[in-house]
């Protein structure tokens, strides 16, 4: 079935609404929350996309967004997944009193934070800002000051998250992948033996603020808490955690973002005469290892690698496709990835492109968070990657299919990928007035 393209999309109205959402979700004039009720703090990779959105209509806010996020950077370079600027807020778990970053010697002294990280998008967001405003003194001054912070973050990944010195960074918590309850993690977390007393009592709020059937299960949450506890015991130190944690993953999306952002650091060093340190060598190794180690021929795609159990996590899911944006795949592998997306868009049973998880797998759930729905920032990454390899037609299918969804169902956190179902709905899933959805819409329309 053909996807409805441009004619149904009212650009002006979408732009206005997207700008309103980003302004509305900006607190204290300095940082943007993903969605004011569900996620009342500043999130790591969300803010990267938010800065990209602001760059289309308010450069000072784009700059401030990245600066306020990096107030949370730790002295060892780690950039936490949540920065708790607004301390007095109640009703979020796990909040600052849970993570207790102030007890960690290396943590930020400016603001309390979580103890895990998220996909490193900031390098390429900074590069986009420069490419968009190459003559702006303000942007150049910002980049000169901000660049060393991003470099320090990347160094952290190579020095603290790569125990075998392969060039791939590991994560020790599903949340760090950005794809919290993806089926990717299901089998592995089932092997984690949680005994009574292993985890403290806690109270969830997410399932009170959003429909519980769209959120992760309580069992998932117990695992999240278990892995957080493990991290806290080690002051969230990567090398110590790698020795003990049952969850040590070299993720596709995470490493593709690292590689794409490395490339941005290398490009900016050339353009602005900055010092990229050892990034060029590291990046070469990262790209090579990614391509050689994470590809699974039977699936025709990349998968994360479980370092603890030394095996691939053999499932088809959205993270694989982000390798395109990092210029990792050979042209024949790139074509395989593109064909998968085209076949998805052409299926008789009708799917929006692109579901976050394999619709033919029994675990697929079109409503539940990362077990199937369409996610805005993932479509943006796919779009960039497809264009990078010259697959402009497929890229545009991804882009306009997504704009059509937002146009019909509003600026939600995620959407049902079943065409017939989404067509009957009046809104998307999860949080409403969502920041990165607004940012992606602004960038798509202005592209
Ligand atoms: C969820 C998503 C994560 C995102 C966060 C805030 O936890 O899985 O990727 O950063 O919400 O939007």
Cα distance between residue 365 and residue 363, in whole Å? 6
Mean pLDDT for the stretch of residues 334-348: 97
Residue 4 has pLDDT above 70, yes or no: no
| Interval 351-388: pLDDT, tens | 999 999 999 999 999 999 999 999 999 999 999 999 99
What is the model's pLDDT at position 206? 86
Residue 164 burial (CB < 10 Å; 0-12/13-18/19+)? exposed
Q: Specify whether the CB–CB gap between 116 and 175 falls below 8 A.
A: yes
What number does the ligand 1 atom closest to the CA of 370 have?
8
- Confidence band, pLDDT 50/70/90 cuts, at residue 79: very high
Closest ligand 1 atom, CA of 377? 9
**The pLDDT of residue 9 is above 70:** no
Domain positions in the chain: 11-346
Q: pLDDT of 277-288, one tens digit each?
A: 999 999 999 999
Quote the ligand 1 centre to 372 CA distance (angstroms).
15
In sign, the C-alpha dihedral spanning 279, 285, 288, 291 is: negative
pLDDT in tens, 111-130: 999 999 999 999 999 999 99
At what angle are helices 11-24 and 44-54 packed, to 10 degrees? Answer: 130
Instruction: Give me the pLDDT at residue 190, please.
Output: 87
Output the average pLDDT for the chain. Answer: 94
The pLDDT-based confidence of 88 (bands split at 50, 70, 90) is low
Find, among 236, 279, 233, 246, the residue nearest to 260 by Cα: 279
- Ligand 1 midpoint to CA 227 (Å): 17
Q: Pseudo-torsion of CA 113, 116, 122, 124, nearest 10°? A: -170
pLDDT category at 90 given cuts 50, 70, 90 is: low
As a whole number of angstroms, the longest Cα–Cα distance in the chain is 60
| Closest approach atom of ligand 1 to CA 434 | 12
**Residue 271 burial class via C-beta count within 10 angstroms: exposed 0-12, middle 13-18, buried 19 and up:** middle
**How many Å lie between the centroid of ligand 1 and the Cα of residue 134?**
31
Ligand 1 mutation target, pool 31, 84, 94, 180, most atoms within 8 A of CB: 180
* Ligand 1 probe mutation, 41, 175, 371, most atoms within 8 A of CB: 175
> CA geometry: angle at 230 spanning 226 and 234, to 5°?
165
Q: What is the mean pLDDT of residues 144-166?
A: 97
CB 43 near ligand 1, within 6 Å? yes
Comparing CA positions, the residue from 130, 17, 80, 123 lying closest to residue 435 is 17
Domain covering 11-346 assigned CATH 1.20.1300.10 in the classification: no
How many residues in the chain? 447
- What are the catalytic residues? 180, 413
Dist. CA 26 → ligand 1 center (Å):
17
Task: Determine the Cα–Cα distance for residues 123 and 286; give it in Å rounded to an integer.
Answer: 16
Residues 294-307 have a mean pLDDT of: 98
- Residue 3 pLDDT level (bands cut at 50, 70, 90): very low
CA 178 / ligand 1 centre spacing (Å): 6
Q: Is 34 in the pocket of ligand 1 (CB under 6 A)?
A: yes
Ligand 1 within 6 A of CB of 180: yes
Ligand 1: nearest atom to the Cα of 369: 8
β-partners of residue 250 are 170, 305
Buried b (16+ CB within 10 A) or exposed e, 384-401: bbbbebebeebbbbbbbb
Give the residue, by CA position, lying nearest to ligand 1 atom 7: 180
Mutate to test the pocket of ligand 1, among 31, 37, 38, 43 (most ligand atoms within 8 A of CB): 43
Task: Give SS3 for 418.
Answer: strand
Neighbours of 8 (CB within 10 A): 11
Measured between alpha carbons, how far is 251 from 305 in angstroms, rounded to an integer? 6
The predicted model scores a pTM of 0.96
Q: For residue 212, what are the contacts with CB-CB under 8 A and spacing of at least 6?
A: none
What mean pLDDT is predicted for residues 281-298?
Answer: 98
46 lines ligand 1 (CB under 6 A): yes
Portion of the chain with pLDDT greater than 70, in percent: 97
Q: Contact 33/40 with Cβ under 8 angstroms?
A: yes
- Which residue CA neighbors atom 9 of ligand 1 most closely? 178
Range from 1-5, 8-12, 68-72, 434-438 carrying the lowest mean pLDDT: 1-5
Work out the average pLDDT over 50-56. 98
Q: What is the pLDDT of residue 71?
A: 98
- Taking 70 as the threshold, does the pLDDT of residue 427 lie above it? yes
Structure tokens at 124: 């390429």
Sequence-ordered list of residues with C-beta below 8 angstroms from that of 102, at least 6 positions apart, any chain: 112
Mean pLDDT of 323-332: 98
Which pLDDT score, from 0 to 100, does residue 238 have? 83
Long-range contact pairs involving 272-275 (C-beta distance under 8 Å, separation at least 24): 272/130, 272/140, 272/143, 272/144, 272/147, 274/144, 274/147
Q: Ligand 1: which atom is nearest the Cα of residue 180?
A: 8
Alpha-carbon dihedral angle through residues 438, 216, 418, 335, given to the nearest 10 degrees: 80
What is the distance in angstroms between the CA of the first residue and the CA of the last residue of the chain?
26
Q: How far is the CA of 369 from the centre of ligand 1 (A)?
A: 10
Q: Which of 272, 258, 36 has the alpha carbon at shortest distance from 167?
A: 258
Q: Which atom of ligand 1 is nearest to the CA of 436?
A: 12
Asked if pLDDT for residue 89 goes beyond 80, the answer is: no
Confidence of residue 297 (pLDDT cuts 50, 70, 90): very high
Residues 6+ apart with CB under 8 A from 137: none
Q: Cα angle at 31 between 30 and 36, to 5 degrees?
A: 130
CA of 2 to the centre of ligand 1 (A): 31
323 vs 91, residue with greater confidence: 323
Q: Quick one: residue 192, left, alpha or beta (phi over 0 = left, psi -120 to 50 = alpha)?
A: beta
């Amino acid at each position: 079935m053909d996807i409805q393209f441009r004619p149904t999309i009212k650009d002006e109205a979408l732009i206005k609404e997207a700008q309103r959402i980003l302004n509305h979700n900006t607190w204290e004039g300095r940082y943007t929350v993903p969605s004011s009720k569900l996620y009342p703090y500043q999130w790591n990779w969300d803010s990267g996309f938010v800065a990209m959105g602001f760059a289309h209509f308010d450069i000072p806010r784009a700059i401030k967004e990245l600066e306020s996020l990096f107030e949370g950077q730790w002295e060892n370079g780690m950039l936490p997944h949540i920065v708790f600027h607004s301390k007095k807020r109640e009703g979020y778990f796990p909040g600052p009193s849970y993570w207790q970053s102030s007890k960690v010697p290396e943590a930020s002294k400016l603001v309390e934070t979580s103890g895990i990280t998220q996909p490193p998008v900031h390098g390429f967001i900074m590069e986009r800002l420069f490419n968009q405003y190459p003559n702006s003194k303000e942007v150049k001054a910002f980049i000169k000051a901000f660049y060393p912070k991003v470099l320090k973050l990347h160094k952290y990944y190579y020095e603290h998250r790569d125990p075998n010195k392969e060039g791939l960074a590991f994560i020790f918590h599903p949340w760090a992948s950005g794809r919290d309850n993806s089926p990717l993690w299901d089998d592995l977390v089932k092997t984690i033996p949680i005994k009574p007393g292993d985890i403290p009592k806690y109270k969830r709020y997410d399932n009170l603020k959003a429909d519980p059937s769209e959120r992760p299960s309580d069992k998932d949450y117990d695992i999240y808490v278990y892995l957080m506890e493990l991290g806290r015991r080690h002051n969230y130190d990567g090398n110590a955690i790698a020795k003990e944690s049952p969850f040590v993953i070299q993720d596709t999306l995470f490493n593709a973002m690292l590689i794409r952002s490395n490339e941005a650091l290398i490009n900016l060093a050339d353009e602005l005469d900055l010092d990229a340190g050892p990034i060029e060598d590291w990046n070469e190794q990262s790209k090579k290892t990614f391509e050689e180690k994470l590809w699974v021929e039977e699936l025709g795609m990349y998968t994360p690698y479980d370092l603890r159990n030394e095996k691939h996590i053999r499932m088809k899911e959205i993270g694989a496709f982000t390798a395109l944006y990092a210029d990792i795949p050979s042209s024949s592998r790139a074509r395989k990835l593109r064909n998968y997306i085209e076949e998805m868009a052409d299926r008789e049973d009708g799917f929006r492109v692109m579901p976050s998880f394999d619709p033919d797998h029994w675990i697929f759930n079109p409503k539940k968070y990362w077990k199937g729905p369409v996610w805005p920032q993932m479509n943006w990454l796919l779009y960039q990657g497809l264009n990078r390899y010259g697959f402009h037609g497929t890229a545009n299918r991804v882009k306009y299919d997504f704009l059509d969804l937002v146009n019909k169902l509003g600026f939600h956190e995620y959407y049902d990928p079943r065409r017939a179902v989404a067509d009957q709905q009046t809104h998307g899933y999860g949080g409403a007035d969502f920041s990165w959805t607004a940012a992606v819409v602004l960038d798509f329309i202005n592209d």
